[in-house]
Amino acid sequence: MLATLFKKRDFDSAGQPPVGTTKLAARPKVALRPNGGSLPGWIFLPTVVLVVAILYWAQEILVPLAVAIMLTFILTPVVAALERLRLGRIASVAIAAILALSILLGVGWIVIRQMAALGNELPQYRINIIEKITYLRNLTKGGALEKVEQTVKEVQSELEETKEPAREAPPRAVVVAGEEDSAFWPIPLATGPIVERLAAAGLAIALVIFMLIQREELRNRLIRILGYSRLTVTTKALEEAGQRISHYLLAQLLINSSFGIAVGILLFLLGVPYALLWGFMAIPLRFIPYIGPWLAAIMPTALSLAYFPGWVTPLIVVGIFVVLELTTNLLLEPLLYGESAGVSEIAILIMAAFWTWLWGPLGLVLATPLTVCLVVLSKYVPELTAVTVLLSDAPALETHVNYYQRMLALDEDECEEIVEEYLENHSTTELYDQVFIPALSRAKNDRRHGQLSERDEQAVYDGTRTVLEDLDDRRENGEPTNQNSLLNTAAPKQLVASVGFPADGKADEVALLLFQKILDPQRYQMEVISADMLASEMVSLVGEKQPRLVCIGAIAPGGLARARYLCKRLRDRFPEVKILVGRWGASGSVGNARTSLSSAGADRVAATLFEARDQLAQLVHLQTGAAIPAAAR
């Protein structure tokens, strides 16, 4: 009965839960709800459907509100800068609002005027259009396309001949309902959509002004609604959302404005009509993720086809957009953004389609800022964890979990890619300690709980050995592996012989091989013994080889009892031998394991490979009295 209870608890001998066990204290999320609970699964989908329905049916109010919030984020740094000039809040908001409104009205007036003039001039370009259509038609004449077209026409004519003549239906009276103006609504009904858009624009402008004036008051009211008990979480969420979105929108506005100005200037120098119009149109269109610049290129390219004879100028127009877009992506965006918006590229495309379906073209422009707001909010609400995983640009899996997962899939090629990518920013020792050791611990834990077969467990160990051999080959061939120079000193070194004993199976044997490879081979000579050897045979081997140091590898979970037994046998038989135990892969503190092993005769107990390396140098110093190498201090 007791054995069954302990098995259900899934704790190892050191009192620590095994790798993969979730601990509430380590949860990165902070609940905004008072009890910190999660929404039941059955209520999540109806909640999402209800929210989407509200967003759709209330878009007349929500769209101006969203536009006002985005404009507030853009203008807040401008208002803050004016306030630092001691102009006062009201004056600063008035200047910023008038400036922004003047720019929007001026650009809108220019765009409308030029579009009207363009519409009047399009018939003049009919000759060039006809010439290019004739040229394209001649290219396809006699080709496969013309044959397909002829076949389709023949089939269509045959079908029309076999059809019976349709009887003519008697004419029906057509009733045309005339639009009547209501006695209570003096504005003609035909102008209703225009009035609605003007009203929405007026509402957005009013909201921007009042949000800029009372932004601290709005923030405080939101904090009051969420409650004082969640003051820290709410403050962090608001600050992060404000800074990230404001920085993103300002940088995007500056980049898009530079792009539009460059488009207008280059098209003007090329002689494309209405170059100013196309430059202005490129600015808002580039707010659309990924496809915006190419939408901006359609009209000037089409106009150049109609205006200029030949094909050279239209190709130059396309080249201008390609060069500007590449320059913007490679130079301006990394320089001004500094960091990403926190949303993955696939998520931006999916959310762009969603917001376009929900709110139309304006939703497409607002897609990225709204998605960033959603990702920031999901970081602080446990119920929205799935949103963070799906939309965030953070890696979905930790490196050691990703490595272990691909090892289980027997995908050694991708495992090597994971290792190479990790080594670009980390040392080989960090790779061993933070990727390989946790992966070995997970394999051992899954095997203990029956989730992994013996064959699959052995495949993980063999695959890790193969990766180690590949890294050794790269070092021998002179390829950089970002390997730390460990324990290297200029002084002559005395070779220290030691033996590595696995406490509990193949995982400990591979871990000892990792530890062996981070040691300086000019100073330490460690022989790793097979895990198939019995404890009595290990003790006899120490008597034969007479090493100065013994290192026992014991990866968590499990192995602690065997490590204690081996420590006691060695201490009783060889009291002068220094014993180092590597309790690697333990989740959390190893204080209990350290106490237990020390009482069994261990001189040092290490939780990481780094710590084991330093403690080994200390034990050598205690035996010989030599100075501890600088790298081990």
Three-state SS sequence of 17-61: CCCCCCCHHHCCCCCCCCCCCCCCHHHHHHHHHHHHHHHHHCHHH
pLDDT higher at 444 or 483: 444
**517 in Cβ contact with 614 (< 8 Å):** no
- Bridge partners of 553, per DSSP, are 502, 582
CA angle, corner 524, sides to 522 and 525, nearest 5? Answer: 100
Q: Which pair of tokens denotes residue 432?
A: 């061993």
The proportion of the chain whose per-residue pLDDT surpasses 90, expressed as a percent, equals 7
pLDDT digits (tens, 9 = 90+) for 100-122: 889 888 888 888 888 888 777 76
CA angle, corner 55, sides to 50 and 59, nearest 5? Answer: 150
Alpha helices in 141-274 (DSSP H): 144-162, 192-213, 215-226, 231-270
Predicted confidence (pLDDT) at residue 184 exceeds the cutoff of 80: no
Predicted confidence (pLDDT) at residue 422 exceeds the cutoff of 60: yes
Q: Which pair of tokens denotes residue 164?
A: 């019976």
Q: Among residues 289, 352, 355, which one has the least CA distance to residue 52?
A: 355
Predicted confidence (pLDDT) at residue 80 exceeds the cutoff of 90: no
Average pLDDT over residues 562-587: 89
Predicted confidence (pLDDT) at residue 248 exceeds the cutoff of 90: no
pLDDT digits (tens, 9 = 90+) for 212-234: 888 888 888 877 877 677 777 77
**255 in Cβ contact with 336 (< 8 Å):** yes
**416 in Cβ contact with 467 (< 8 Å):** yes
Average pLDDT, the chain: 77
Q: Rounded to an integer, what distance in angstroms lies between the CA atom of residue 533 and that of residue 554? A: 15
Q: Which pair of tokens denotes residue 448?
A: 């203990």
Long-range pairs, 593-601, Cβ under 8 A, ≥24: 593/13, 593/14, 593/16, 593/556, 593/560, 596/13, 596/14, 596/560, 596/564, 597/560, 597/563, 597/564, 597/567, 600/563, 600/564, 600/565, 600/567, 600/568, 600/571, 601/567, 601/568, 601/570, 601/571, 601/572
For residue 475, what pLDDT is reported?
A: 67
For the CA atoms of 446, 37, 236, 80, the dihedral, rounded to the nearest 10 degrees, stands at: 140
pLDDT higher at 478 or 208: 208
Map tokens 């001189």 to a residue.
603
Predicted confidence (pLDDT) at residue 447 exceeds the cutoff of 80: yes
Q: Rounded to an integer, what distance in angstroms lies between the CA atom of residue 292 and that of residue 470? A: 46
Q: Rounded to an integer, what distance in angstroms lies between the CA atom of residue 314 and that of residue 300? A: 8
Predicted confidence (pLDDT) at residue 265 exceeds the cutoff of 90: yes
The identity of residue 304, as a single letter, is: S
Q: Rounded to an integer, what distance in angstroms lies between the CA atom of residue 566 and that of residue 46? A: 59
pLDDT higher at 180 or 53: 53
For residue 274, what pLDDT is reported?
A: 86
- Going from N- to C-terminal start, the domains of the chain cover 54-121, 231-391, 395-484, 488-633
Q: Rounded to an integer, what distance in angstroms lies between the CA atom of residue 521 and that of residue 632? A: 15
DSSP state at residue 434: I
pLDDT higher at 630 or 142: 142
Average pLDDT over residues 520-543: 87
Go through 558-576 and write b for each residue having 16 or more CB atoms within 10 A of its CB, e for each that does not.
Answer: bbbebbbebbebbbeebee
For residue 322, what pLDDT is reported?
A: 92
For residue 237, what pLDDT is reported?
A: 73
pLDDT higher at 446 or 124: 446
Predicted confidence (pLDDT) at residue 492 exceeds the cutoff of 50: no
Q: Which CATH superfamily includes the segment(s) 488-633?
A: Cobalamin-binding domain (3.40.50.280)
For residue 338, what pLDDT is reported?
A: 53
Average pLDDT over residues 337-362: 78
Predicted confidence (pLDDT) at residue 9 exceeds the cutoff of 50: no
Q: Rounded to an integer, what distance in angstroms lies between the CA atom of residue 604 and that of residue 612? A: 8
Measured in degrees and rounded to the nearest 5, phi and psi for residue 484 equal -70, 145
Q: Among residues 336, 373, 352, 366, which one has the least CA distance to residue 257?
A: 336
**Helix or strand or coil: residue 366?**
coil
Q: Is the pTM of this model over 0.75?
A: no
Burial of 549 (0-12, 13-18, 19+ CB in 10 A): buried
Alpha helices in 287-339 (DSSP H): 292-307, 312-327, 333-337
395-484 CATH fold: 1.10.1240
